[in-house]
Amino acid sequence: MTETRDIPRRLILAIGGNAIHPSGIAGTSEEQVQIAADTAKALLPLLALDNELVITHGNGPGVGKVLMRQALASGAVAPMSLDICVANTQGVTAYLLVQAFENALRLADNQRHVVGLVTQVEVDPEDPGFKNPTKPVGYFYPQDKARELSETLGWTMKEDAGRGYRMVVASPEPKHICDISLVEALAQRGNVVIAGGGGGVPVVRGDHGVRKGVEAVIDKDLTTAHMAKVLGFEEIMILTAVSKVAINFGTPDQRELGEITVSEARKHHQEGHFPAGSMGPKIEAAIRFIEGGGKRVVIGHLNEALPALQGQTGTHIIPD
C-alpha cells in the first residue's frame, strides 16, 4: 500500500486496552503516567490537527486489576459492582490521557483542549451476552492458576488465543450512548473528546427513563462503531499492539493483510482467523460499521497512527 490518503476531517479513534496497559508492567502510577505520555507523543500529529476527533479506549487490563484488588481486600473493604469498576477505570484512564494529551499539545505550543466524559451506554437487559460471558479482563494466567481462581473466587476463566487463561465477564451489545449529543457538541467546538472508555458504563433503562448499572463490560470496539454511526463519521481507526491484522496468525502460513473488502474480512472471520479474545471484536466492529454505511476502518499500531491513517501501513477494511 503506497498511495497516500487524505486525513479525514472527522475521525473516531479507538485505543486498545492492551496498548495503553501493556502486559509485563507492574501497573504502578509512574508506569501509567509514562505510558500515557508515550501515547500522547504517538498521537500528537493527530491531536494537533484542526479536526473533529473523538477517542475511545479499552479497559480490560485495568478492570481486571480492580477486580483482583477487590478479591484480595474482600475481608476489609466492601467490593464494588462491575459497572462501578468500569466507571472507576474509565475515569482514571481519561484523567491520565487528558493530562498527557494536553501536556503534549502545550509543549507543541497548541492550546487545544481535551475533555474526558464518564459515558453511560445502555444495553438490553435480555441480551444473551449476560448468560454467556465472553469478554476477557485482567491478567493472563497458566491453567493451574486459572483453575485455582475459579475455585476460590468463583471467576469464569477461559483460554485466550493461546496466551493463557483470563477471567471473562458478560458483554452485552451497546444499544444507546447516553449524552451522545454532548460528545458531538464538544467535538464540533474543536475539543478532543475522550468518551465511551471501556465500552462505556453498562446501564439499562426502565420506566420514566430511569437508569441503573448492570454487571457487565461492553466491548469498546462495538461501542466505537456504534458511536461513529450515530455521529455520522465515515472513518474509524482502531489502534492496537500490532501493525497489521494477520490470518493464520502464529503459523508458518501467517499473512498480513493490507487493504481488504468487508466481504473478505467477513470470510476470514467466519473461517476462525480472529479469536474472540483479541482481533475478533475489532473485525466484527469493522464489518458492522462498513455494512452500516461507513467508508473505511483502519487497524494499526499505536505508534504508527499517522502513517496508518495516510495509507502507508495498517490494515484497511473498505466497502465491496
Catalytic machinery residues: 17-18, 135, 220, 282
- Of 243, 270, 267, 271, the C-alpha closest to 257 is 243
Torsion angle (degrees, nearest 10) of CA 125, 127, 128, 130: -50
**Which residues 6+ apart lie within 8 Å of 137 measured at CB?**
60, 61, 63, 64, 67, 166, 167, 168, 169, 217
Q: What is the DSSP string of 227-239?
A: HHHHHT--EEEEE
The three cell numbers of residue 261 are 473488502
Dihedral-angle region of residue 96 (phi above 0 means left; psi in -120 to 50 means alpha; beta otherwise): alpha
- Strands 10-15 and 52-57: what pairing? parallel
**Which residues 6+ apart lie within 8 Å of 256 measured at CB?**
243, 244, 245, 246, 315
Buried b (16+ CB within 10 A) or exposed e, 126-148: ebebbeebbbbbbbbbeeeebee
Q: What is the DSSP string of 12-50?
A: EEEE-HHHHS-TT----HHHHHHHHHHHHHHHHHHHTSS
Could you tell me if 272 and 200 are in contact, meaning their C-beta atoms sit under 8 angstroms apart?
no
Please state, in angstroms and rounded to a whole number, the distance separating the CA atoms of residues 137 and 139.
Answer: 7
Please state, in angstroms and rounded to a whole number, the distance separating the CA atoms of residues 314 and 255.
Answer: 13
81: DSSP letter: P
> In one letter, which amino acid is 248?
N
Task: Reduce the DSSP state of residue 53 to 3 states and report it.
Answer: strand
